[in-house]
Amino acid sequence: MKTLTSNLRLFWQGTVLSYVALFAWLQPVTYMASKIVMPLTQMLFFTFLGSFATGRDNAHFYVIGNAIQITAVSGIFGVTMSIGGERWSGTLVYLFGTPANRMAMFFGRAFMHIIDGTIGVVIALLWGVILFKLDLSQTNLSALALTIFVTTLSTCGLGLLMGCLSLLTANVMFVNNTVYFLLLIFSGANVNLATLPSWMQAISQVLPLTRGIASARALIAGASMQEVLPLLAQELGIGLIYGLVGYFMFQWVEVSAKRRGTLETI
């Protein structure tokens, strides 16, 4: 019982402190620019581009896709900053020097970004309602909320894996940006997946977001919770796999860095 309490405390403290101290965008103006205005303008750009390509009637396809994809801003960039930031700020050596439970420490780094990312998607959908008259009257809102939460969770799973890469390479922002932009294609946010070549569809199926976006589109079109539950279960499973791979990589990085003496390498 004492170990559990101690790990929960560690989880919570790590969660709050890593978010406050290592999330580089956590200043009012920078947060507004990077987490609210940038995603909005990205959504506008792809919605106008999609409307130009397929007609204004299809605008909602792009609004929903890009609104859900916005969770990747928190999931990829935010989580990576919270893990990789330990290295840049020179605290990794202390972190790995403690006997603290690694699982609580590792997954705690993503917790605030799950909340943050969920709020980001809700804001984006509200922009869709205001600017593009996105109709949510047929939508099961609690199912949509669950979809947003599960999708954010699974994207943060990928973010945890990317965060571990930031402990290995100095070029992590290059990798992160590339993954973020590739998700714009492969997640189906902007392209109907059926129109992609089969090898691209195969990649889409092993990525987070793909099923979350499909589920959100189905729910807004009037589908029930039961209809989207299989998609959500798969989305959650994919996110957990990425998170676990990230966790094992985190452990490997710790052993490897200690052995090579590269804990403080920047």
Partner 1 sequence: MNFRNIFRYWRTMLTVAEVTLRHQLNDSFILFAILVQPLIIAVLALFMLKDTAANAAMFVVVGSGLTGLWSSLLFISGNSINAERWQGTLESLVGVPTPFDVIVFGKNLANVVQSLLSMIVAYLLAALFFGYSLHMDQPLLFFLSLFLSVFAFISFGLVIAPIFVMYREVQQWQNAMEYPVYILAGFLFPVLLLPGWTTPISYILPPYWAAVALHGTSTASAPLEQTLFAWAMMVLLSIIFLFIASRLFKIMLYKARVDATLDVQ
Residues 6+ apart with CB under 8 A from 178: none
Query: From the CB of 52, what's the least distance to partner 1, in Å?
Result: 4
Query: From the CB of 224, what's the least distance to partner 1, in Å?
Result: 30
Query: From the CB of 19, what's the least distance to partner 1, in Å?
Result: 19
Beta carbon nearer to partner 1, 24 or 95: 24
Residues 6+ apart with CB under 8 A from 139: 219, 220, 222
Cα of first residue to Cα of last residue in the chain, in angstroms, is 39
Query: From the CB of 178, what's the least distance to partner 1, in Å?
Result: 5
Structure-block tokens of residue 21: 């101290």
- Positions touching partner 1 (CB under 8 A) are 27, 29-30, 32-34, 37-38, 41-42, 44-45, 48-54, 171, 173-174, 177-178, 181-182, 184-185, 190-191, 195-196
Beta carbon nearer to partner 1, 119 or 193: 193
Beta carbon nearer to partner 1, 29 or 130: 29
CA distance 207 to 93: 32
CA distance 189 to 175: 20
- The label of the residue with tokens 């200043």 reads 27
**Helix, strand, coil percentages, rounded to 5, for the chain:** 80, 0, 20
Integer angstrom CA distances of residue 185 from 5, 82, 192: 43, 26, 9
Integer angstrom CA distances of residue 104 from 12, 26, 120, 121: 9, 23, 25, 26
Beta carbon nearer to partner 1, 54 or 98: 54
Query: From the CB of 110, what's the least distance to partner 1, in Å?
Result: 22
Beta carbon nearer to partner 1, 85 or 243: 85
CA distance 264 to 186: 36
Structure-block tokens of residue 65: 């896709």
Beta carbon nearer to partner 1, 122 or 175: 175
Query: From the CB of 40, what's the least distance to partner 1, in Å?
Result: 8
